[in-house]
Amino acid sequence: MTTTPGELHVLAVDDVPPALDELCRLLHEAPEIAEVAAAGDPLGALKMIRTTRFDAVFVDIAMPGLDGLELASLLAKLNQPPAIVFVTAYDGHAVSAFDIGAVDYLLKPVRAERLSAALGRIRKMTAHHHVSGTDRAMSPPDAMAALPVDTAGRTWYVRRSDVQFVEAHGDYVRLHTRSGAHVVRMPISRLEEYWESHDFTRVHRSFLVALSAIRELRSGSTGGLIAHTELGDVPVSRRHARALRQRLLDNAQRSELGRSPRRA
């Protein structure tokens, strides 16, 4: 199946016929969509995926037998997996969904603007990975480059590049950016797994910080180490202090090596 920008081929999966019909209707109305296929259960979806390549699968979570999370886990093992968007009436599975690598997590009833945002992300991924099957398999989609924030009926995305540090609050994290602090339902340990390779480092059991955001290290009033950022001070525990200093040194050396030679 050949995909060009603005012509996404998607599969909708839901065991409740009215919900499936409504999701298909919304997808058909989206200008990004070229074709919508429908499956009333995960097993039916698997049969379709064996014979047809889809750019994305929109799947409900709560289904009898094989549920949406299990289906997504199977799809993630494909050489060229489709993008996964969960569509559900419950927000309690968000952590598991992003752990699998979901592109987005839509709550029912699905709003047109939220669907449009999800399709926009899928289009960017499709354009970026529309190369050979080998290249696409080697470059899985970066599902955590931005996190959706829902507040008072509005949804927007906080980009990883805008986050200076992350503060843990139980099963939630507070993302500190220049535009303010944004709360997302996700344990800090899970976010660390995704962001560690993007120059974020754990400095405390409750804090994750972007190396590029650290302006200096200094001693706090109680003698502990503090990582100073533009948006505030971040405590550094003793067990993380040595590793942080080393990562800052490595990061600085990489930056120096990447600079162009100065002209005499």
Statement: the pTM of the whole predicted model exceeds 0.75: no
For residues 243 and 258, give the distance between their C-alpha atoms in angstroms, rounded to a whole number. Answer: 23
What does the pLDDT look like over 207-239, one tens digit per residue?
999 999 999 999 887 778 999 999 999 999 999
Pairing of β 56-59 and β 83-88: parallel
Q: Is the distance from CB of 163 to CB of 147 less than 8 angstroms?
A: no
The 10 Å Cβ neighbour count of residue 117 is: 18
Domains detected in the chain: 8-140 (3.40.50.2300), 156-258 (2.40.50.1020)
Query: Which residue in the block uniquely carries the two structure tokens 């049969």?
Result: 47
Percent of the chain at pLDDT above 70? 83
DSSP code of 54? Answer: -
pLDDT of residue 222: 78
Average pLDDT, the chain: 83
Instruction: Evaluate if residue 264 carries a pLDDT over 50.
Output: no
Q: How far apart are the first and last CA of the chain?
A: 55
